[in-house]
Chain A
Amino acid sequence: MFPAIESLAMTFPTLLADKNADFWFPIQGSSFAEEVDWVYDLILYISLAFFVPMMVFMVWCLFKYIKARGTKAESQLSHHTTLELTWSIGPSVLLVWMFVQGSISFLDMRSPPEGSYDIGLQAFKWGWTMDYGNGTFHPELHIVKDEPTKLSMRSTDVIHSVFIPAFRVKKDVVPGRYNYMWFKPTIASEQISAEQLAKLKKQNEGTTWDYDKVHTIETEDGEKEVQVTPEGYTFFDLYCAEYCGTNHSEMQTVVVVHETQADLDAWIKANSSRGEVSMEEWGELLYGRRGCSGCHSVDGSKLVGPTFKDVYGSQHGLTTGENQIVDENYVRESILAPKAKVVAGYQPVMPSYKGQLSDDDIASIIAYLKSISANAPSQPAAAQAEPEAESAE
């Protein structure tokens, strides 16, 4: 890059708030990044090699040939065929080079190697679910360094687009078909120590975890600024790049790159089931993780879907005109077949979670809904043995 531009960039520290980026690009996080940046730089230099002389020539003409009104021009030359053919054909050669170079790199990006690590990706309004197999789903994309990774992508509603700037990749996720993309990450995420994470968690107690927040942590070499996941990993951003409605700009998630396959397997195992956590806590986690929070508030405000606040045990009017008590069976049906009984005043837009949530997951979500509802027959902390009583009603 140009030294002048770089020094200019240094004088604007805020410009470089993203510590890992240079002036033009995010950090080079995949094997494609270097090649794409190289092609970009070459086009940039070729463009400047045309642009600068042309503009210098134009300004020079302005100074040189500005004449008093009424002065005749020095020349009335109307054409010069050789010159015109030269500047028509000459640049074409460079264009052919750009096209060829861009296409070669593109073909690489379109051909996933045999045996790539395959992760399912499902896009919906407005969130992501990655499918790690064996019933493990998570909104964050976790992959392994230097391991070619292939995403098999589908959308349940409208067109979305997966964009990971650090990897220089982008692909639309089109409903009604599978789209694929692949990449090989080259930089592993760091993980801050358990004590530091505990400290950060304490500082942010009572709020939802903000991925964008820059935390200052103390290390052996002094202070360091990091953005981390709730598990303490640094990450790359993953954006939705195809406009998809209300919360398009909030449809973001993160990519965490593990050093080894064993690390990733450990992480998958830790996230595959509820483990020791209580059902309410697990339900709350799933509420955030599986995209419920994009459409259903817990503070009573109306989003795309009905709020979850006090929803359990309340009466809903349906679009069919009937009334429905929100009980276990209704919640379960709404998760697995959301279009069967739609609440009046809302669109039938929710995707089905059939095959994506285990029975334990659904039960946990129900437990969570009960815990935040004043209409629930009993407070969860007070009595654990109530469910039988309810189903008997």
Chain B
Amino acid sequence: MSNATLPAGARDPGYPTERENYLTNSSGILSWMFTLDHKRIGMMYLIGVVSAFAIGGLLALAIRLHLLKPDGLLFTGAEGNNIYNQVFTLHGAIMVFLFIIPSIPAALGNFLVPVMLGAKDVGFPRLNLSSFYLWVFGALFFVSALFSSGLDTGWTFYTPYSTTTDTSVILATLGAFILGFSSIFTGLNFIVTINTMRPPGMTWFKMPLFLWATYATSIIQVLATPVLGITLLLLIAERTMHIGIFDPEFNGDPVTYQHFFWFYSHPAVYIMILPAFGIISELISVHSHKHIFGYRFIAYSSIAIALLGFLVWGHHMFTAGMSSLTTIVFSALTFTVSVPSAIKVFNWLATMYRGSISLTTPMCYAISFIFLFTIGGLTGLFLGTLATDLHLHDTYFVVAHFHYVMVGGTLIAFLGGVFHWWPKMVGKLYNETHGRIASLLVFLGFNGTFLPQFVLGSRGMPRRYATYDPEFAFLHQLSTFGALLLGIGLLYAFIVLMVSLAKGRRAPANPWGGVTLEWQCTSPPPYYNFERPPVVGDPYDFHNLEWDAENERYVMTEPERKLVPESTPDEVPAHAGGQE
């Protein structure tokens, strides 16, 4: 590489040679299947969750096409309603268990956590690989449920419907049970990694916010997922042995199941959205080239959300007949979670103020995220407020609300993250113009799909309906056209990334101007992540970053250093990325 245009003292790891990056340092299918490298495991997860998303997305399109007509368009005939019920159940179950929960933590998190931390790998590489295979195994159970006698309980498996229906409930719940273990292992691994493998200088408050978000997520994964496991086992026991916990026919109480289920599944919502917050914090800061505003507030709010998230499960049961006092307490607790979420949005906006904004594809997704997540969050207020929730509960308003949070939030952040770190992961740059057009299509399509659903819901359209009253037809049609546009946008984005693999320019180490540690290694990173120990500093200090116009990349100039304290060891320990 030419250093002619570089400022004095610039450091840049340059480009990796053919054999020194993690993709090429060994080859063959077995070198991937038995890899212990967190980056390869992350990439395998990425392929897995994107495949799951494709299946779930096609099912979603089928749902929307069916709802073009009040009496149903796609699934007609005697079995029509049953097929529709199975389609929406599988859409929900696949998206929740196979895509949204593992997407950011398992795919992006696996790739990024050690690199951003400045470590060689995660704490337990073998556990990491086993969690991937558990995911595959659990996914196979789900798919086999699809091919045996389907599943028509909704992704929530509410009793006593799930204990009496003759579809493959046991296969699917076993699948979810196994996926739960995968999730626990991932969370455990990240907690250990972040606690023990930070290199010298990487204090808690020098950690990038994505790591804070991952840490908070991992706490939920480890603490809440076992409850889901127990619940699903009890459900299977109820179905096979009639133990009488959930089924009123055997003196059980169906609402007990709902308490158990949401005690996991509400925190799980934060497993889905917290990592997204982390990504957006990185994206907004890097593409505004400005220090993140209110670092500590954002970090603390992640932990606050993780803890408060355990206290609000009851808001899924406002209409189930809990006592009035319980209901009111859960409503109050629900409102407390909205404060830390709002803090984050204000901080992101303040970060953009007086920045130097580059409207790159990841930034387009970050802006979409703020827009969509704010709508998702504000519409949550209608559902947390008891009087309005009674009307809106189990209507399309709820459908729209959680899609704004889960799709508008998590999926958009996931896409933003993938586009942001794509050059790092594969070493190729994609076409920016096409990337931006795709993000615009996704944004428009998404709003077209779900904005009409808020109106549908407040006008009284219940969810999970295979057919509906004709007065709702127009809004349903709007929604379906939006969904088609969204589908086109997502496919477009996928093609942009695939084309970059074949035709993309070689990516420099730091294409966007990030200061976190992953930008200090080559793109793609070498097998042990760093050729030489990374220099740990404030992850959002952009002072020493210079633009190298000739090579279209950012380089770090030598930061002002304080004198090295005498106690610092001469050799950098292996866990900090030094060579043994």
Contacts and interface: CB of A to CB of B under 8 A. Distances in A.
A79 B295 contact: yes
Contacts of A301: 78
Contacts of B277: none
Contacts of B352: 58, 61-62, 65
Contacts of B161: 158-159, 243-245
Interface stretch (B189-197, B325-333, B567-575): B325-333
A347 B543 CA distance: 72
Given A69-B547, A99-B384, A109-B390, A79 B254 contact: no
Interface in A21-39: 21, 23-26, 32, 35-36, 39
A39 B293 contact: no
Most buried by A among B152, B390, B394, B540: B390
Interface string A58-72: 100110011101111
A18 interface: yes
Nearest to A159: B254
A58 B370 contact: yes
Interface stretch (A116-124, A138-146, A172-180, A192-200): A172-180
Given A39-B385, A43-B382, A177 B291 contact: no
A166 B357 CA distance: 49
Contacts of B547: 69-71
B349 A172 contact: no
B20 interface: no
B321 A171 contact: yes
Contacts of A32: 387
A71 B338 CA distance: 36
Most buried by A among B248, B254, B388: B388
B251 to A, nearest CB: 8
A165 B459 contact: yes
A65 B382 CA distance: 34
A78 B466 contact: no
Contacts of B347: 84
Interface residues of B, number: 102
Nearest to A180: B321
Given A39-B388, A87-B343, A103-B328, A77 B164 contact: no
B395 to A, nearest CB: 7
B3 interface: no
A158 B164 contact: yes
Nearest to B82: A246
B357 A62 contact: yes
Given A79-B294, A103-B331, A177 B385 contact: no
Interface stretch (B56-64, B170-178, B234-242, B469-477): B469-477
A163 interface: yes
A360 interface: no
Contact of B393 (A76, A176, A241, A246): A241
Interface stretch (A90-98, A278-286, A330-338, A362-370): A90-98
Contacts of A106: 324, 327-328, 331, 386-387, 390
Interface stretch (A247-255, A256-264, A320-328, A375-383): A247-255
B381 interface: yes
A83 B294 CA distance: 10
Contacts of B252: 176
A240 B462 contact: yes
Contact of A98 (B288, B335, B459): B335
Given A43-B385, A88-B297, A88-B339, A168 B391 contact: yes
A40 B458 contact: yes
A77 B349 CA distance: 13
A233 to B, nearest CB: 17
Interface stretch (B41-49, B371-379, B516-524): B371-379
Interface string A102-128: 111111011000000000000000000
Interface string B452-467: 0001001110111111
Contacts of A265: none
A71 B161 CA distance: 60
A243 B158 contact: yes
Contacts of B249: 175-176
A168 B460 CA distance: 9
Given A95-B335, A174-B255, A165 B460 contact: yes
Nearest to A38: B387
A107 to B, nearest CB: 6
Given A74-B355, A88-B343, A163 B387 contact: no
Given A21-B459, A102-B331, A171-B319, A75 B354 contact: yes
A50 interface: yes
Contact of A17 (B254, B394, B470): B470
Interface string B533-569: 0000000111100110100101000000000000000
A2 interface: no
B339 A109 contact: no
B26 interface: no
Given A36-B391, A62-B359, A161 B319 contact: yes
B289 A73 contact: yes
Nearest to B158: A159
B390 A169 contact: yes
Contacts of B359: 62, 66
Interface in B367-422: 367, 370-371, 374-375, 378-379, 381-382, 384-391, 393-395
B331 A73 contact: no
Interface string B272-300: 00000000000000001111111111000
A109 B290 CA distance: 51
Contact of B374 (A54, A71, A165, A240): A54
Interface string B288-326: 111111111100000000000000000000011100100
A17 B346 CA distance: 40
A51 interface: yes
B167 to A, nearest CB: 10
A168 B474 CA distance: 22
Nearest to A107: B324
A119 to B, nearest CB: 18
Contacts of B470: 17, 212, 214
Contact of B464 (A72, A105, A243): A243
Contacts of A25: 458-459
Q: Which 10 A-B pairs have the closest CB atoms?
A: A70-B547, A176-B248, A165-B460, A102-B385, A105-B387, A106-B386, A249-B465, A18-B471, A47-B378, A67-B356
Given A46-B381, A84-B297, A95-B338, 9 more contacts: A14-B473, A50-B378, A51-B378, A102-B385, A103-B386, A170-B391, A172-B321, A176-B248, A241-B462
5 contacts: A61-B352, A101-B387, A175-B248, A237-B460, A243-B161
Interface of B: 78, 81-82, 85, 152, 154, 158, 160-161, 164-166, 248-249, 251-255, 288-297, 319-321, 324, 327-328, 331-332, 335, 338-339, 342-343, 345-347, 349-350, 352-359, 367, 370-371, 374-375, 378-379, 381-382, 384-391, 393-395, 455, 458-460, 462-471, 473-475, 513, 540-543, 546-547, 549, 552, 554
Interface of A: 12, 14-15, 17-18, 21, 23-26, 32, 35-36, 39-40, 43-44, 46-47, 50-51, 54-55, 57-58, 61-62, 65-67, 69-80, 83-84, 87-88, 91-92, 95-96, 98-99, 101-107, 109-110, 157-159, 161, 163, 165-166, 168-172, 174-177, 179, 212, 214, 237, 239-250, 252, 301-303, 347, 349
